[in-house]
Amino acid sequence: MSVTVVIGGQWGDEGKGRIIDLLAEKSHIVARYSAGNNAGHTIINDLGEFKLHLVPAGIFREDKTCLIGNGVVVDPEELLKEIEHLESRGVEVKGRLFLSDRAHVLMPWHRLIDLKDEELRGKGAIGTTGRGVGPAFADKVGRAGIRVADIADREALANMLDFLVPYKNAVLERLYETDGVDGEAVLDEYADYGQRLAPYVADTNVLIHKALEDGDNVLLEGAQGALLDLDLGTYEYVTSSVPSSLAAGAAIGMGIGPTHIDTVLGVYKTYCTRVGNGPFPTELLDETGDMLREGGPRPEYGSTTGRPRRCGWFDAVAARFTAQINGISGAALTRLDVLDQFETIKACTAYRIGSRTLESMPASGLDMARVEPVYTELPGWQSETAGVRRFEDLPEAAQGYVQFIQEKLGVPLCLISVGPEREQAISMRQIG
Ligand code: GDP
Ligand code: IMO
Ligand code: MG
């Protein structure tokens, strides 16, 4: 038996979905434990390309069970759409996907508040995905949330809405100067979602503990990336998931103890990207940045919003930090093939502010915004890696770059991805 958490080590979109899809082969259960449909995980297989926002990436392997844990915020309309879409493309979901009755439900006011908050922040906007996920987690913490168990029962839902609708309408109308919601319509709509989701709802805590007792392999699918974490990320340009998408959040988000987790796999791109606003020391606003965005298959555009991703060189200061705060025991590197095009490759190994050299990330947002990266330049290889399946067959300079990253992370590399498709990977050592 092993329980492995897969987390993003940068600002999200590291290729977690692609890695989970690969690792799911040896798992019995694949579970999402945090965040909501702000996540967008891409999987490419025989059926084509899929972008999953709520359904775990194990869904394409028909003998696996997928769980959406108590730590996730679920937009029921989006989840139903995702299920329908998967089924329309030949993926069996019913009987394999289970949604925690303790998961929180994203309500219409969350999306409205997300958009209005961004508008009010003006130049300081976070650049959220606009899905309402931040306000939904804020309501969870503020004890004004509705959970899956509540929408399953019309009377319980009506009782909660009796308080919540006037409260939220006061906020929407008086604070945000926008229209409130129609309480009756919300009741009908969400009670209907409750009915339609009923076949998927379960006490996922019972399911996961049964799996642990049976000695099953469990894969816990992180969302976002450690640098977007509310506590340890580049605050306030972070996401609001509670529990956190860090590895430690997996225990709470699935209702297991931290002692159950055996392995933490950190997924890192061979360079950095970020969507949304906020500090990004190695960002390249030049032709090199464009080459990182557009070069290779699957250019860098957000899986959820389609926004162009900001691109820059690998940041070893940030990567080392996220390896530590997640306790990663091994790493997976993705998108090595994108670097095939460069004559030389840079990696940031320290920050500088004036005459001061920093070897760790400063807490202050102002400092983070003004740090200058100190680069090490490494030779490129300028040959195709997409077809390589053994480390020793990589060009020497690619081996050197990969080893450089391994050393900076301070943990062994388990996997190198050289393309977006399932088999385009180099296995380095066993995970878990
Ligand atoms: P996630 O949110 O961490 O699951 O990552 P996304 O799916 O949002 O973004 C990763 C993107 O990179 C997707 O378009 C993947 O298909 C693609 N991808 C993953 N691994 C590789 C790789 O090794 N090479 C290339 N070229 N693309 C990859
Ligand atoms: P995956 O799981 C990349 C970013 C948003 C924004 C900030 C806050 O696909 O890696 P939010 O809507 O969460 O309030 O936005 O967080 N963000 C992500 N960026 N990948 C994600 O998920 C993200 N989820 C949120 O772009 O900067
Ligand atoms: Mg993504």
CA of 297, closest atom in ligand 1: 26
1 has pLDDT over 90: no
Parallel/antiparallel/unpaired status of strands 372-379 and 272-274: unpaired
Ligand nearest to the CA of 296: 1
Q: Which residues are catalytic?
A: 13, 41
- pLDDT of 431: 85
Q: What does the block give as tokens for 240? A: 């609001």
- Give the residue-averaged pLDDT of 113-126: 97
| Structure confidence by residue, pLDDT tens digits, 245-276 | 999 999 999 999 999 999 999 999 999 999 99
Residue nearest to atom 3 of ligand 2 (CA): 12
| Structure confidence by residue, pLDDT tens digits, 351-371 | 999 999 999 999 999 999 999
**What residues are paired with 23 via a beta bridge?**
none
| Domains of the chain (ranges, CATH numbers) | 3-102+201-264 (3.40.440.10), 104-197 (1.10.300.10), 268-427 (3.90.170.10)
- pLDDT of 432: 74
Per the CB < 8 A criterion, the answer to whether 158 and 133 are in contact is no
Before 155, cis peptide (omega within 30)? no
* Banded pLDDT at 321 (limits 50, 70, 90): very high
Report the interhelical angle of 396-409 vs 316-326 (nearest 10°). Answer: 50
Other beta carbons within 10 angstroms of residue 129's beta carbon come to 23
Q: Is 7 in the pocket of ligand 1 (CB under 6 A)?
A: no
Q: What is the DSSP string of 345-361?
A: EEEEEEEEETTEEESS-
How far is Cα 69 from Cα 72, in angstroms, rounded to an integer? Answer: 6
Before 297, cis peptide (omega within 30)? no
| Structure confidence by residue, pLDDT tens digits, 145-200 | 999 999 999 999 999 999 999 999 999 999 999 999 999 999 999 999 999 999 99
